[in-house]
Amino acid sequence: GGYPRLFSPWQVGHLTLPNRVVMGSMHMGLEDSHADLPRLAEFYAERARGGVGLIVTGGFAPNRLGRLSPGAGMLATRKDAEAHRVVTDAVHGEGGHILAQLLHAGRYAQSPLQVSASRTRAPISPVTAFALPTAAVRRTVRDFVRAAGWARQAGYDGVEVMASEGYLINQFLAPATNRRTDCYGGSARNRRRFLEEIVTGIRQAAGEGFVISVRLSMVDLVQDGQTLEETLDAARAVERCGADLINTGIGWHEARVPTIVTSVPRAAFATATARVKDVVDIPVSASNRITLPHTAEQILSADQADAVTMARPFLADGHWVRKAQADHEQAITPCIGCNQACLDHVFSGRTVTCLVNPRAGRETEEPYTRLGMPAMPSAGRDDGALRVAVVGGGPAGLAAAHAAAEAGHAVTLFEEQERVGGQFRLARRIPGKEEFAEALAHFRHRLEPLGVDVRTGVRADAAILTGGAGEPAFDHVVVATGVVPRELDIPGIDRPEVHAYPDVVDGTVTCGDTVAVIGAGGIGVDVAELLTTPADHPHGAFQEHADWEREWGVDPDFGGRGGLAPRTAPAVPRTVHLLQRSPGRIGARLGATTGWVHRGTLKARGVVQHSGVRYLRIDDAGLHIEVTRTVGRLRKRTEVSRKVLAVTDVVVCAGQESEASLAVRLRAAGMPEERIHVVGGALKAGEIDAKRAIDEAVRAVARI
Ligand code: NAP
Ligand code: SF4
């Protein structure tokens, strides 16, 4: 096969695993109630069926104070252990192996009562944590050991001790959060005593035949984090204490360096893992921004790690491993690192799913049960198949065509443009969003093997669809005709220096040296980033690691504490003004886990932000605006001022309007309502995004 290292067996403790892929810990939002565990079990079972050798669960707390939020899942009682049987049985039934992750949240607990190594407050938390007294530290060690015992009772093959990402154990390891004066603080030796006692305790209680993985922070990315030497010593120590595997953790949750979003280069942190691998004999697994088999194979063949840990790619495609093994890299639905349906859901208390695979995490829910597992290329279709037309080849249309073809229907996809892709074709041109191109390539290349009849450059009118044009009528029509950019009614809007965003994004128009962007939603922010990125400068997945490290202040040698270095302001090709009518800060409605990265980028690039704007006119002098600001200590008075932005270009990113006129024409032509399925932006343009569009598309198809 094409990935010899990835598919070579390896040993983790007593387990012999068939491939070097670990499915890393993800919080699915199904961990908290015992009643949800059967759903979680089916989610894991499907991934085990898909060939993944070792699965790590989301974090379970060893005691009440360790819970991520009140009511979060624990492994602390016999009842917990019994409830987890359904999970371990399901995974073992498919020939897989599974570790329970033990996570004590420490000062990241979303609770008024938090504990930590010392009395400190996390910048992302509203409350100050209490310092655990020495006796309570010892009790916590015992709770970890007991939790591992319950995990064993539940049938888990082992546990993973969460010692990274800024959770409690990491809070003990780093001087930033550990100012203790007892035997658990002070020297690096003392700071890691808590972790050592946990690993030793679990090993002593469990004996052999039970895997202990430690998710170790390779680099903290916070001020006063650990030094590289301390990290290496911690790795040596956990090996001595009986760990079988070291898994990679990168950066604390409060770190101001992005570590997993799509603008982070591929395998950006594998070099950190490689340093740890050099000093221990137990296997070490790399993680972060590894999404496709060729990246994984590269890491393994460069000897940077013994295995790779991926989490989100298993939301995007449960059969990642089997497809990679069959050399069908392009059949893998790639994770695009958007966080929109996974981590952003975690932070807003919703269960996790996936933008490109809305069935993830809902395998047992209607109507997703009616959709098969995204299958390997096949064109199995029987003669009695329904004729389904999908109109529009954007994300919604592509997803609908796939789902319908996989369900065995005879599918025709109509796209008015010469190429399919819709808004994804634009998104992939945004610096840092190059992965949309991979997702698009995946969807496009799968159409032919699935037997979809693709007709590009064709406007599907009601006559073709209802059988009036010499072709048999379609049984169902999915209207995925998407959106059109909103046009504004401002004096001067027809001037040549005013552009609709698609023309700027696809390169039809090149802007001058001062640009005003009207509208600061997802697209306005993307366009501002595009306009402030030097042309021909690879970004995102393919950016040079060194460039990216300079931009975000990461020390390539991990020399100082926390692995941080001074940030270097990037070269910016032009001045950009970003405007919105609403008051308040720009980008406030961007995703919880991605918005801060975008806001940080805009700031670093010197993008001038204007809120509370009224657009007056555009003329030779530029864009005339009126700005309303709240002033005074109580922000109760408003102050109105007028100004002219002397810009060379104006780009309109003022949202979208639905394009669904086809549905009206189909109804007029007599097509019954239940055979017309309007989805995505065509259904509702407000706040449309690919997540909603794809989900609506596959649900509509499941109901056909
Ligand atoms: P959007 O997020 O709805 O933003 C539209 C912007 O235009 C807002 O800033 C709005 O702000 C402004 N606007 C609306 N009506 C206007 C009018 N009549 N005159 C002037 N300004 C007006 O839409 P979008 O930026 O087009 O993005 C579309 C969707 O794509 C988004 O919902 C987003 O979810 C998705 N997307 C997501 C990402 C991501 O990174 N997750 C990136 C790109 C796109 P004011 O009303 O305050 O002026
Ligand atoms: Fe990846 Fe986005 Fe899916 Fe999350 S929602 S798994 S980031 S594609």
Q: What is the pLDDT of residues 113-165, one digit of tens each?
A: 999 999 999 999 999 999 999 999 999 999 999 999 999 999 999 999 999 99
Torsion of CA 453, 454, 455, 461, to 10 degrees: 70
pLDDT, tens digit, for every residue of 29-49? Answer: 999 999 999 999 999 999 999
Active site positions, annotated: 167
pLDDT, tens digit, for every residue of 86-101? Answer: 999 999 999 999 999 9
> 362-366, 371-375, 388-392: which has the highest mean pLDDT?
388-392
Rounded to whole angstroms, how far apart are CA atoms 170 and 323?
Answer: 36
What separation in angstroms does the CA of 448 have from each of 378, 413, 453, 523? 9, 11, 8, 31
Kindly report the backbone phi and psi dihedral angles of residue 650, in degrees, each rounded to the nearest multiple of 5, phi listed first.
-125, 130
Is the pLDDT confidence value at 381 over 60? no
pLDDT, tens digit, for every residue of 613-649? Answer: 999 999 999 999 999 998 888 888 899 999 999 999 9
Ligand 1: centre distance to CA 591 (Å): 13
| Contact predicate 554/221, CB 8 Å | yes
Rounded to whole angstroms, how far apart are CA atoms 146 and 150?
Answer: 6
Ligand 1: centre distance to CA 294 (Å): 36
Taking the CA of residue 262 as reference, the ligand 2 atom at the shortest distance is: 7
Q: What angle do CA 183, 186, 187 make, to 5 degrees?
A: 95
Residue 356 Cβ contacting ligand 2 at under 6 Å: yes
Q: Give the pTM.
A: 0.93
Ligand 2: centre distance to CA 356 (Å): 7
User: Taking Cα atoms as reference points, which of 14, 28, 85, 77 lies closest to residue 56?
Assistant: 28
Residue 310 Cβ contacting ligand 2 at under 6 Å: no
For residue 579, what are its two tokens? 């405007």
Give Cα 126 distance to the centre of its chain.
25
35, exposed or middle or buried, with CB in 10 Å at 0-12, 13-18, 19+?
Answer: exposed
Q: Which ligand is nearest to the CA of 578?
A: 1
* Amino acid identity for residue 688 in this structure: I
Is the pLDDT confidence value at 373 over 70? no
Average pLDDT over residues 442-456: 93
Is the pLDDT confidence value at 379 over 60? no
For 639, the enclosing helix (H) or strand (E) is strand 637-645
Q: Which ligand is nearest to the CA of 489?
A: 1
Tabulate helix, strand, coil % of the chain (nearest 5). Answer: 35, 20, 45
Taking the CA of residue 656 as reference, the ligand 1 atom at the shortest distance is: 26
Give the distance between the most distant pair of CA atoms in the chain. Answer: 86
Alpha helices (runs of H) in 473-606, residue ranges in sequence order: 501-505, 522-531, 545-552, 595-604
Residue 249 Cβ contacting ligand 2 at under 6 Å: no
Residue with CA at minimum distance from ligand 2 atom 3: 354
Ligand 2: centre distance to CA 14 (Å): 33
Kindly report the backbone phi and psi dihedral angles of residue 520, in degrees, each rounded to the nearest multiple of 5, phi listed first.
-125, 40
Residue with CA at minimum distance from ligand 2 atom 2: 338
Rounded to whole angstroms, how far apart are CA atoms 29 and 349?
Answer: 7
Taking the CA of residue 485 as reference, the ligand 1 atom at the shortest distance is: 26
| Contact predicate 465/667, CB 8 Å | no
Helices (H) and strands (E) in the chain, counts: 22, 27
User: Taking Cα atoms as reference points, which of 201, 199, 249 lies closest to residue 225?
Assistant: 249
Alpha helices (runs of H) in 208-361, residue ranges in sequence order: 228-241, 270-279, 293-301, 313-316, 320-325, 343-347
